[in-house]
Chain A
Amino acid sequence: MHHRTSLNTRKQEFRFKRLRQLLFTTKGLGILLLAPAVIFILITVVYPMAYSFFISFFDWNLVYSSPTYIGVTNYIKIYQDVVFWNSLRTSLVFTFSSVFLELLIGLAMALLLNRKIHGVGMLRTIFAMPFVITPVVVALMWKWLYNPDYGLIPWVLDGLGMANSDLLGNPKTALGAVIGVEVWQTTGFMFVLLLAGLQSIPNELYEASYVDGASSLQSFRFVTLPLLKPVLLTSLLLRTIDAIKGLDKFYILTGGGPGTSTEVLPLLILENAFRYFNVGYGAALSYILTSVILLVSFIYIRTLRAIK
């Protein structure tokens, strides 16, 4: 009896010692401190994503049916759906047009304002400001600006002699009008990141290049761009992912119209998952969108890494 008690006590002591080692070493403490965040991410991100992928193989209308397993039928339907391809095309056109314009304008502004001139601080703040406005407020504001009955933009365009100044009501100009709003709001984000990138490039490199006889353009090409590559990649990636997922401006400005001229993929997902409550089909659509984002990100990274 005494021997058994002594053995149990030794076992307990051993366990406590192991626990103390686990908790109070650097590694153990790190795991302990990370655990709440990891659990939170598992519950709020990993589990919903896994469940969403799971239900994409089911036919399930949340209003009045139980889930029925249908394999890859949802994905086949998507492949055969003309509406899906149209919306994907619209999303991609919107994304690449707006990101390209943001990059161009953002880089130009960053280069212009990367100098010590009077009032440059205020100018930087003004250019960055649209980005901090809530996207829904921006969309509502521009909806009023574009309004054909009392908006400022049609009034100006009418004054310039434009035939059809209702940009949002014309299927040929509606997408461009939304791109304009997106560029207005998010160029500030590009500008801030690129400016920070420019300011981290040591001045000595430019001085050395000038000493070697490089022109401004050569300096930009061989000094600025290579050193700006990491920031460029980050900015492009973040903005592209954001733009492909873009929903709020389309929802408020056009609702996907006129016709289907601004019907983007996120709107289609919203309709299927949250209006018809066909959650299986909606989940499948959202995984297609995720795949597109991953593919685009992969292409960006490979391309930019290949650029020397």
Chain B
Amino acid sequence: MYSSTRTLITLIILVSVVSGITGMVEAEKDYVGVTLNFLNCSGPSDDLLQKQIEAFEKETGATVILENVPYGQMFGKLVLGLRSGSYDVFAADYQWIPQFAKSDSLLPLDQYLNDPAIASPELDLGDFSKVVLDSLTINGVTYGLPWYANVNLGVVRKSLLRDSGLSWPDDWDGFLTVAKKMTRDTDGDGKVDIYGATVAGGRHSHLATEFRQYIWSFGSDFLDADYKPLFNNDKAVAALQYMIDLIHKYKVASPASVNYNYEDGLLAFVQGNVASTWAWPTTVATVSDPTKSSVSDDFQVVARPGVPLLSPWGFAVAKKSKYPEAAYKLVEWLASKESLREWAQRGYPVGRMSVLSDPVLLKDDPIMSVYKKSISRARYMPPLPHWEELRSNLIRHLSNAIIGKISAEEAIKRSAEAAEELADKY
């Protein structure tokens, strides 16, 4: 009995000591007891974000609750969630930054970035891509740190491009020639089986994305600093007409394109029904996955002809976060060189120049050189507070032109009128 009592006491002391040590270790972690809610746009690499968050939790003691939602639901959730304080950190499409900054829903990060007691010594602000960092900055105030610079790319069937005898073009005249060569009737029944191109011509946000890229490529511009339209001209009409002609005149894009968004085009591509389509770097993984793509071993990623759209993404902090410093540290963690290198290895064109220029990464992944080329030609549209409303109006008129209900001139005119009205309103 004496022996068992002694054993029991020893056990109790041992447990207490271990608990004490664990407690001390936990206490050294900066954010024990802190819970952060993180809203992210769901994608094929959500597992990587989860992994990086778990590493942050282990390092800091904080708990991060990650919520992944489709892009279409993000804005609505943020409008309500930032007002109610439901989210601390979120993945930010740069277009949302001015809208939320205007409603004072975002935490300015400069107070932490410029504080050596809080900012990590490895932060290296100068290493961030300037265009991406600028897109997250409003009137000199930084509201987010860069994640990646989404740039519109092309994917093309290697075999069909090779059979055309042509190389991938840098301009739209060249693209039309290639698309004609790649459009073919494979079974001789008089019907086209493989279309050379796709047009995201459906009533979807991607139509506005396409429109901007085409008008820039044709030499027009979109909006001025006061959000007034600059596209009410012949060049923009020619750009829109080119999109329409790809479907109806040259018939190198499927007639179904009048309802397509990028996902539909990608689906047609992976099923072998089209020879080329447009995609974001985040969706290229689908094409290379043999369980999802019938052309996984017969495609290459190419730079979009003309001027592609740059659509930066970053990480931002909510003004109503109960733990602003912890939230900032999470953002800093996710935007660090180590974290973004992991994204680059997954094929993301990240917002750090040192990572994009890494010779090892460039050697291992030839797509990185396509990214660099694309980003060098890309433009991004300065974010505007009423983008959602303007985009919906544009899509309505552009879509009517795509189906032939109104002419390209009329669509441009109506779109410009809508843009003018909204610029005056906001």
Name A residues whose Cβ lies closer than 8 Å to a Cβ of B. Answer: 62-64, 83, 147-150, 164, 166, 168-169, 171, 254-261, 263, 271, 274-278
Contacts and interface: CB of A to CB of B under 8 A. Distances in A.
Given A258-B399, A259-B400, A148 B256 contact: yes
Contact of B271 (A64, A150, A271, A275): A150
B228 interface: no
Contacts of B102: 63-64
A252 B255 CA distance: 19
A166 B256 contact: yes
B254 interface: yes
Nearest to A172: B403
Interface in B81-127: 83, 99-100, 102-103
Interface in B370-426: 385-386, 388-389, 392, 396, 399-400, 402-403, 405
Nearest to A166: B256
A254 B203 CA distance: 8
Interface string B144-164: 000000000000000000000
A172 B36 CA distance: 51
Given A149-B268, A164-B255, A166-B255, A257 B79 contact: no
Contact of A257 (B75, B83, B99, B202): B202
Contact of B399 (A148, A257, A275): A257
Contacts of A164: 255
A275 B388 contact: yes
B273 interface: yes
B271 A169 contact: no
The 9 closest A-B pairs by CB, nearest first: A257-B203, A148-B256, A64-B103, A259-B400, A276-B389, A64-B102, A259-B403, A169-B259, A255-B203
B66 to A, nearest CB: 24
B8 to A, nearest CB: 55
B268 A258 contact: no
A254 B260 CA distance: 10
A300 to B, nearest CB: 33
B202 A275 contact: no
Contact of A149 (B271, B392, B402): B271
A184 to B, nearest CB: 20
Interface in B342-366: none
Contacts of B79: 62-63, 277
Contacts of B100: 63
Nearest to A271: B392
A166 B191 CA distance: 14
A258 B403 contact: yes
A255 B255 CA distance: 17
A258 B202 contact: yes
A276 B388 contact: yes
A101 B303 CA distance: 51
B140 interface: no
Contacts of A259: 203, 396, 399-400, 402-403, 405
10 contacts: A149-B256, A169-B257, A169-B258, A254-B203, A258-B259, A259-B402, A260-B396, A261-B405, A276-B392, A277-B388
B322 interface: no
Nearest to A276: B389
Nearest to B389: A276
Contacts of B405: 171, 259-261
A169 B257 CA distance: 8
A60 to B, nearest CB: 12
B76 interface: yes
Contacts of B271: 149-150
Given A63-B79, A63-B99, A64-B99, A149 B254 contact: yes
B197 to A, nearest CB: 15
Given A63-B99, A171-B403, A276-B392, A256 B203 contact: yes
Interface in B179-206: 202-204
Contacts of B388: 275-277
B203 A258 contact: yes
A259 B203 CA distance: 7
Given A171-B403, A255-B202, 9 more contacts: A63-B79, A63-B102, A149-B273, A169-B257, A169-B259, A254-B259, A258-B202, A260-B400, A276-B389
B392 to A, nearest CB: 6
Interface string B256-270: 111100000001100
A62 to B, nearest CB: 6
Interface in B235-277: 254-259, 267-268, 271, 273
Contact of B103 (A63, A149, A261): A63
Contacts of B399: 257-260
A148 B255 contact: yes
B385 A64 contact: yes
Contacts of B203: 254-259
A33 B402 CA distance: 60
A121 to B, nearest CB: 41
B370 to A, nearest CB: 27
A85 B103 CA distance: 33
A169 B260 CA distance: 9
A63 B383 CA distance: 15
A235 B99 CA distance: 46
A71 B300 CA distance: 58
Contacts of A278: 389
Contacts of A275: 75-76, 388-389, 392
A70 to B, nearest CB: 13
B147 to A, nearest CB: 22
